[in-house]
Structure 1
Amino acid sequence: MQETDYDVIVVGAGFAGIACARTLAQHGARVCVVDRKRDLGERIHTTGILVAEALLHPCLAGLPAAQIRAVPHVRLYAPNLRSVRLAAPDYRFYTTDTPALMRWLGDGLVERGITLRLGTPFRDAERTGDRWRLPGIGRARWLVGADGATSRVAMRLGLGRVDQWLYGVEHEFDGVALREPDALHCFISKHYAPGYIGWVAQTPTGVQAGLARRHTPGSPVVPDIDGFLRHTAVMTGLSAPGRPDSIRAGLIPCGGPVHAWQRDGVVLVGDAAGMVSPVTAGGIHAGLRHGSAVGEALACRLQCPDAGDIPVVTRAVPGFRTKRALRWAFDHAQFDGPFDLALRTPFMRLVAERLYFHRRGHVVPAPDVSPSMD
């Protein structure tokens, strides 16, 4: 296949890679996005839960209303299944049909003149002068690794690599309804989710249920999602959901940003750079922000090619200091008994509201979405 010259080649068509590519294209850069998947809706590893801020990102402007569902509050469960309802004024979480969303985002790349090459895995890259050459793909001044938590770009080119993980599994059940559909149901349980939580939520097409736990490399232990669903059925109403219509599973970074996420014309973004909250494991909004910020910085570098190395995008590289401390505490001091006793206390409510809503009473304007075409 003929190789083409580009300004930037982005490896990985996830949220961060797409945001980076779109930002670059807005500045007139010639961009190619490659992804090993032949269909951006297949083998999804990302959960379908969005914070309200994510829907305010330009990449999601015009998202069809039929692809999202507002979830106005959180119901947090202690290990004994007692619960407390959490909410913030005018704040919403959103669930989505993730495969449909990724296909929609991919179509948006093509509409903006960005080259999208699916079924094209990254195998290696070689430096030739001031450009990177990807055999069978093309040459570019900058290479962006947006290929996920186990980034092959980082591994091959000697950049920082994620080394702390959660392992998550999510099942989707089409056409099923929850007993309380307007809540994001979150379950604390050291037995089922050591180091993280379980969750159940209503989606535009049914129900998604997930479970994640701290992961040790080489460990064969995976989340017991079937046992978790049986344990929580009395609260969710999912007593016999049947076989899942789709399953997502994979590693989730939880150690904060990697130390070396850029060098010699290579930049990591999103999960590949560890841009995921160590506590909540939320990576979609962080990935969109980081991808766009890196795209802006690269566009600047392309306009001023003699100005040296790409500057660090400090505002888009959070330190997660507080959340990394909470991650340590969750890993070393998670006990079911104290959570059972403390869940309904004002202190625990305050901590939970700050984790879920960033600050108590924080208001986020409702996003604009285009009307459903159904």
Structure 2
Amino acid sequence: MADPSPLPAADLVVVGASFAGAACAIAAAQRGLRVCVLERKRDPGEKLRTTGIIVKEAAERTLLNRLPSRMTRQVEEVRLYAPSLKQVALAAPGYYFLTTDTPAVMRWLAEQMRANGVDLRLGAAFNACERSGDGWRVDGVGTTRFLVGADGARSRVARRCGLGEVRQFLYGIEYEFPGAVLARPEALHCFISKRYAPGYIGWIAQSPTGIQAGLALRHDPAHARAPDIDGFLLRAGRAGGLPRHLRPGHTRAGLIPCSGPVFDMARDRAILVGDAAGIVSPVTAGGIHSAWEHGWAVGRAIAAHLRDGAPPPEQVAVEAAPRFRAKRALRWAYDRLQFDWPFDLLLHSPPLRWAAERVYFHKRGSQGSGELDHPRRRN
């Protein structure tokens, strides 16, 4: 007699092979689940939309602590620039960031998935799905017990499964300058400017392969404004130590969620993680650490549910999502109260330093080096 309940093609299908998707897939595969990952790009390192800057917590407490040293560069200082280009240096004892050779990191993540038994399918786009029994039928794969969308800010999984969607965004653009070296490569240079980056900042940093420089601004579909990155670099490049007459190599660009976790991120065995779930800091737009932790928690929860009869992972996904309450309040204030003159006036004041410490160093005390000369006064 034919089996009336044939096994599904996979226990879990993950759409998207970036940080959140990789974390979810590896966590589930390590518990013995049959995991399939669909990634529309044939090369996971191409057409990236992330700066690839990793905070200390992610570098030390996740699988990312195994990244080969050639793919990372440690940065221990933040130089914060007011619109006038006055600057202050900030640091926290023992704290650092890692800039990365991001294309190499994404290819390394693909290797880690396969090493853990994940069926990674590159060049395989997610097109459609439909409910099938207690799970989902995914085009090109077959049936699966769970479906996870790690497919970015404009998630197809969210639309196809009727889940919540991100509604508020920043739009960011970044240039890469291969082989170039900053005058001060030891710092992450961050620029406040309502003219060039309303609602966010500009940045310049040394990576293992060169220099990355970019900016982001609040995205308003009704009044779309293209970021003037060339004007920004003409204005801020010298202050940030950017060599003259550079030509960019690759350009990264894309939407960044900035309103916190979406409502209805998990239902009926479909779950969103990463940018698709809005798991991105509303203030810093940093998402690698929180996306990894949330993706890992969801992968483990799915495995625990299927293997051990643990509670539904949809509940775990919602409870494990960071709320960003304070940062959402800061985002609201920054969107409505951003002016250049307070930053010029208060750059070295205790209140602004206090706020910067919490944004960049996650509530750690900083060791400010005091006021620095205006860059245009240097010889």
Which TM bucket (shorter chain)?
over 0.9
**2:15·2:38 contact (CA, 8 Å) conserved in 1?**
yes
Tell me, what secondary structure is at the counterpart of 1:70?
strand
Residues 306 and 108 of structure 1: is their aligned pair in 2 closer, same or farther, counting only changes over 3 Å? Answer: closer
Aligned partners of 1:301 and 1:310 also within 8 Å: no
* Structure 2 CA distance for aligned equivalents of residues 253 and 270 of structure 1: 10
SS in structure 1 at match of 2:159: helix
One-letter amino acid matched to 1:280: T
Contact 2:304 2:310 in 1 (8 A): no
Q: In structure 2, what is the equivalent of residue 368 of structure 1?
A: none
**Match of residue 103 from structure 2:** 99
The Cα shift of 1:214 comes to 0.2
Q: Which residue of 1 aligns with 2:34?
A: 30
1:350 to 354, 367, 370: 354
RMSD of aligned C-alpha atoms?
1.7
Structure 1: distance between partners of 2:130 and 2:144: 11
Kept in 1, the 8 Å contact 2:301–2:313? The answer is no
Is 2:163 the partner of 1:159?
yes
2:336 to 326, 332, 338: 332
1:308: Cα distance to partner? Answer: 5.4
Q: Secondary structure at the match of 2:221?
A: coil
Q: Displacement, 1:221?
A: 1.1
Q: Give 2:214's match in structure 1, choosing from 210, 217, 229.
A: 210
Secondary structure of the structure 2 residue equivalent to 1:45: coil
Distance (whole Å) between structure 1 residues aligned to residue 345 and residue 323 of structure 2: 32
Show the counterpart of 1:198.
202
| Aligned-partner SS, 2:238 | helix
Q: Residue 91 of structure 2 is aligned with which of 76, 87, 90?
A: 87
TM-score by length of 2: 0.92
Question: Which residues of structure 2 form unaligned runs of 5+?
Answer: 1-6, 367-379
- Structure 1's unaligned 5+ residue stretches are 363-374
Which SS does the other structure have where 2:314 is aligned?
Answer: coil
Partner of 2:121: 117
Deviation beyond 4 Å, 4+ runs, structure 1: 304-309
Partner of residue 49 from structure 1, selected from 46, 53, 72: 53
Q: 1:296 to 1:38 in 2, by over 3 A?
A: same
Corresponding residue for residue 181 of structure 2: 177
Post-superposition offset of 1:309 = 6.6
Partner Cα distance (2:75, 2:183) in 1 = 14
Cα distance, 1:238 vs structure 2: 2.1
Tell me, yes or no, if structure 1 residue 63 matches structure 2 residue 67. yes
- Contact 2:58/2:65 (<8 A) preserved: no
Amino acid at match of 2:168: Q
1:244-259 pair list within 5 angstroms? 244-259=248-263
Corresponding residue of 2:131: 127
Q: Tell me: CA distance 1:158–1:314, structure 2 relative to 1, closer, same or farther (3 Å).
A: closer
Structure 1 CA distance for aligned equivalents of residues 103 and 312 of structure 2: 39
SS in 1 for 2:239: helix
8 Å CA contact 1:132–1:143 kept in 2: the answer is yes
**Contact 1:69 1:204 (8 Å CA) reproduced:** yes
Tell me, in whole angstroms, the C-alpha distance in 1 between the residues paired with 2:245 and 2:298: 42
Alignment match, 1:366: none
C-alpha distance in 1, partners of 2:340/2:310? 57
- Give the Å deviation of 1:220: 3.4
SS at match of 2:36: strand
Partner residue, 2:372: none
- Residue 251 (structure 1) shift: 0.1
* Partner SS for 1:7: strand
Decide whether the 8 Å contact of 2:298 with 2:313 is kept in 1. Answer: no
The reply on whether 1:14 has 2:24 as its aligned counterpart is no
Q: Give the aligned length.
A: 361
Cα distance in 1 for partners of 2:56, 2:22 equals 19
User: What is the CA–CA distance in structure 1 between the aligned matches of 2:212 and 2:248, rounded to whole Å?
Assistant: 9
Q: Secondary structure at the match of 2:13?
A: strand
Q: Which residue of 2 aligns with 1:136?
A: 140
Query: Which whole-Å CA distance do the structure 1 matches of 2:171 and 2:140 have between them?
Result: 33
* 2:76–2:95 CA contact under 8 A, matched in 1: yes
Q: Distance in 1 between matches of 2:240 and 2:261?
A: 35
Conserved 8 A contact 2:49-2:254: yes
1:346 positional shift: 1.4
1:56-84 superposed Cα distances (whole Å, 9 cap, x missing partner): 24321321101000001000000000000
* Aligned partner of residue 302 in structure 2, secondary structure: helix
2:210 aligned with 1:188: no
TM-score by length of 1: 0.93
The answer (yes or no) to whether the contact 1:4–1:137 under 8 Å persists in 2 is no
| 1:361 pairs with 2:365 | yes
SS at match of 1:329: helix
